[in-house]
Structure 1
Amino acid sequence: MAHKREPGSLYVVATPIGNLGDITLRALEIFKEVDLILCESAKETRSLLSRLEISTPVLALYKDSSESPYSSVLDQLAQGKSMALVSDAGTQGVSDPGSQMVRTAREKGIRIVPVPGASALTALLSVSGFQVNPTYFLGFLSEKPSKKRRELERASEMDGLVVFYESVHKLPRLYPMLAEFFPETEVLVGRELTKTFEEVIYYANPRDLLANPPNAKGEFVFLLNHRKKTLKGNSDSTDM
């Protein structure tokens, strides 16, 4: 069914995280119809649009905590122009600077429309085989080792799945922390999801991960099956 663009709307549009085929028909329609596409990196977004044969203008937004970078954009939205907001890859606002733009637009009464699509978080959850209720998403762990330890320690007190992203060059420091705070927890690692060298690797516990780590290249998502009943020997299927 065709989607009619609404004037003065901000469309928050998910883009592929690796496989171009994951772009949705609705996203393509929005990209063609809006007046402007707001993005993290103009270079990355223009490259995506070029492959999709779309010529809509793009504007890179600043990662600024103030309202000023968005004033011109908000004025244009208030005047009836429509825009799409995208990240370099995946669902905007999950682990990127788009949340500030969305908050500012909402405060100004701008209509905000989600256009869902690819997400590394939901991609890994969908193939985990674990009961996903509850799931705690930590986003990217802290850059600072001491704060990262506190984040993982707090997460180890939770009962459920724990999911987070981690930068590839920080993996050697991460693995011993997982062994310390989640010694008996199942680990599912998603590497380069939807891309050519995609891997989804299961480890019975972090010790196995330490002994046989995945190739330290690409984008990583970690899922820890820290459901307390499972750790005590009860299967997921016993829970209603």
Structure 2
Amino acid sequence: MTDIPAPQPSDRHYVLGGARFLARPLEPGLHVVATPIGNLRDMTLRAVETMAAASLVACEDSRVTRRLVDHFALAVKLVPYHEHNAAEMRPKLLARLAAGESVALVSDAGTPLVSDPGFKLVEAAREAGHRVIPVPGPSAVMAALVAAGLPTDAFFFAGFLPPKTAGRRGRVRALAAVPGSLVFFETGPRLAASLADLAAELGDRQAAVCRELTKLHEEVRRGTLSALAADYAAAPDPKGEIVVVVGPPGEAPPPADTDIEAMLRAALAGGSVKDAAAAVATATGLPKRDLYQRALLLAREPG
């Protein structure tokens, strides 16, 4: 890494709207920078300044990041950091941090550490006592949640599902009880099969397939999981980046009267009327006062 010179103050410029600006100096540390998921105009001013002022920018694919660098006329040093070279590059980046430099970490699109190797670098940087500074911005997960029109008060991001049916169904089955919307990344060739497996394990929940978000051919399709699975199975594999959002599980129907009676009788066999009503109220969410009256009538029945 010693062959990568730090940028000089005169290099720390960026261009916006044809005007040239000098980036402010950065504090030493690892700056985790979110970059656009498609539309370059989603780049925040702070993200541009951070990349312009950093000693170097660690990126997944320099060809992808180069387009962003050229768009804002940044004179930055790009260093590849991806799953294939992370073990080799991580000590070198930590050495730059130890020397008091500022390192910007970016992914190909969106927020680093979401389905990329950035986590291990952040973990190592923190363990070494270096500052980790988030520079928030675009996220495919949040963009899809906003566009899907499904509940967002609670959600779980599950990344990419396993590529094969058995593994995929097992993973989905483990997520079935999550009390919120589920968010997945998926590829075009696997989309129809994944939607079918989601329907098989989760039931026919409402879902949305969000494709090419913020790009020219942005598309969001809503429907039940089974309907979406059928639609995509009948068409050519879709292209581009895909996020699938699945709505939360529906509320369980209230137990039938016969079930409530059976539960009360079972509870009365081992406890008082009060204890039986409390136990069944906890299990069903039904009012304890009503259950107490029913338990009292059952207890008075002749044996």
- Which residue of 2 is the match for residue 236 of structure 1? none
Structure 1 letter corresponding to 2:249: R
CA distance in 2, matches of 1:48, 1:65: 22
- Which residue of 2 is the match for residue 226 of structure 1? 248
Deviations 1:105-134 (A, max 9, x none): 111111000001111100011233333222
Greater RCO (CA < 8 Å, at least 6 residues apart): 1
Mapping for residues 32-181 of structure 1, pairs under 5 Å: 32-63=52-83, 68-181=88-201
Structure 2 letter corresponding to 1:222: V
- Which residue of 1 is the match for residue 258 of structure 2? none
**TM-score w.r.t. length of structure 2:** 0.70
Give unpaired runs (5+ residues) of structure 2. 1-21, 254-303
**TM-score w.r.t. length of structure 1:** 0.88
Give unpaired runs (5+ residues) of structure 1. 233-240
In structure 2, relative to structure 1, the CA distance for the partners of 1:228 and 1:192 (3 Å cut) is same
- Which residue of the other structure, out of 3, 8, 14, is the alignment partner of 2:34? 14
Contact 2:177 2:249 in 1 (8 A): no
- Secondary structure, counterpart of 2:31 in structure 1: strand
CA distance in 2, matches of 1:62, 1:224: 30
* Per-residue deviation, 1:143: 2.7
* Per-residue deviation, 1:138: 0.1
- Secondary structure, counterpart of 1:228 in structure 2: coil
- Which residue of 2 is the match for residue 206 of structure 1? 225
Contact 1:42 1:60 in 2 (8 A): yes
Residues 125-134 or 16-25, more deviating: 125-134
Contact 1:37 1:58 in 2 (8 A): yes
How large is the Cα RMSD of the aligned pairs?
2.1
Report the structure, 1 or 2, having the larger helix content. 2
Deviations 1:31-75 (A, max 9, x none): 111110001111211122112211200100142597542112111
